[in-house]
């Protein structure tokens, strides 16, 4: 198998869709994706907050077209 970005690229090259999840501790990838979504018109988004015992998790998801920020 390959790394996640190579797998995603192959899927997209073959006409498929791929969801890539990142976290704040993946500094470079997270920053590049954030820049993309700051410039691209959003097609949809959601935010969730989940609390269990002493831990809380906040998640945000956004969708956009692959060519939205290039055109």
Give the pLDDT of residue 3. Answer: 63
Give the pLDDT of residue 64. Answer: 73
CA distance 20 to 50: 21
In the chain, % helix, strand, coil (3-state, to 5) comes to 30, 25, 40
For residue 71, what are the contacts with CB-CB under 8 A and spacing of at least 6?
none
- Give yes or no for residue 28 having a pLDDT over 80: yes
- Give yes or no for residue 71 having a pLDDT over 50: no
Beta bridge partners of 59: 48
Segments making up each domain of the chain, as ranges? 4-63
Tracing tokens 């890539």 back to the chain, one arrives at 20
């Amino acid at each position: 198998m390959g790394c996640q970005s190579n797998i995603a690229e192959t899927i997209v090259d073959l006409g498929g869709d791929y969801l890539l999840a990142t976290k704040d501790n993946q500094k470079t990838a997270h920053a590049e994706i954030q820049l993309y979504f700051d410039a691209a018109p959003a097609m949809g988004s959601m935010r969730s907050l989940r609390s269990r015992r002493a831990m809380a998790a906040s998640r945000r998801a956004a969708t956009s077209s692959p060519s939205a920020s290039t055109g």
